[in-house]
Amino acid sequence: MSSPAANIPQHVAIIMDGNGRWAKQRGLPRIEGHRRGVETVRTVTFAARDLGVRMLTLYAFSNENWKRPQDEVGALMGLLEFYLKKELDTFVRDRVRFRTVGRTDELPEGVQKQLRRTTEETKCFTDYTLVLALNYGSRTEMVDAARAYAAAVAAGKEKLNDSSWATFSRYLYTADMPEPDLVIRTSGEMRISNFLLLQAAYAEFIFTPVLWPDFTKADLAAAIADYNRRERRFGQTSEQLKPAPASK
């Protein structure tokens, strides 16, 4: 574990990008890039924990990714199911809690079954959580939250006049999760692509040119070191955040 004095982001969220370009550079089919991407998922899951991170969220499949060629979508779903089956024992042995955000009920039944199993069998672990964003998009999440909130108001469980971020955010997929402190995007693209738009309101962002299959523990450690050098002000001034001088 890292020194407790270091300012480690408790929740790191990553937009894993560049699998396709990694494959293209090598004259390989795109799915080879995704296969190598899964290896990086394994490495980074444990690297983050070693570095002191408590929660890692990975953007694995967006609402928009269904528009990719059908063979690529099918291959990604196959990889996901295989990954979940293979990782379950490791998660249990290494005490990794697994959960998801997104409309997982629209994923293939085989994937849903593995997701239920992995979530259920790891729900007792509390020290470290891996979250996969699957069939996720912030706009869909907003719509789902608004619907659930409206239903709660209609049922008399919430009062419209008392609406606040604190009450509304309980209806997001991330209701019981801390907000991300650090969002990383690989592959040199500098956009957020409908990922945790509300939750990342005060997150720090790091964009690295490294393609996801090449991303290593050292790259993650470098991102955390960069995060450490930043001052998070949450709307306040730098002076307000400095500790008051000790009185004589």
- Which residues are near ligand FPP by CB under 6 A? 16-21, 34, 37-38, 41, 60, 65, 76, 79-80, 83, 132, 187, 212
Question: Rounded to the nearest whole angstrom, what is the least distance from the CB of residue 79 to ligand FPP in the complex?
Answer: 5
Catalytic residue, candidates 63, 65, 194, 214: 65
Question: Rounded to the nearest whole angstrom, what is the least distance from the CB of residue 246 to ligand FPP in the complex?
Answer: 49
Q: Tokens 């593995």 correspond to what residue?
A: 114
Q: Which residue is nearest to ligand FPP (CB)?
A: 20
Q: Structure tokens of 201?
A: 């309101």
User: Cβ contacts of residue 13 below 8 Å, gap of 6+?
Assistant: 56, 57, 58, 59, 180, 182, 183, 184, 195, 196, 200, 203
228 is known as an active-site residue? no
Cβ closest to ligand FPP, residue 50 vs residue 64:
64
17 is known as an active-site residue? yes
DSSP strand E in the chain: where?
Answer: 11-15, 55-62, 97-101, 129-136, 182-185, 204-207
CA angle 98, 102, 103 (to 5 degrees): 120
User: Cβ contacts of residue 107 below 8 Å, gap of 6+?
Assistant: 77, 115, 134, 135
Q: Structure tokens of 157?
A: 């469980």
Question: Rounded to the nearest whole angstrom, what is the least distance from the CB of residue 30 to ligand FPP in the complex?
Answer: 6
Q: At what angle do helices 70-93 and 109-122 cross, to 10 degrees?
A: 20
Cβ closest to ligand FPP, residue 130 vs residue 223:
130
Residue positions annotated with a catalytic role: 17, 65
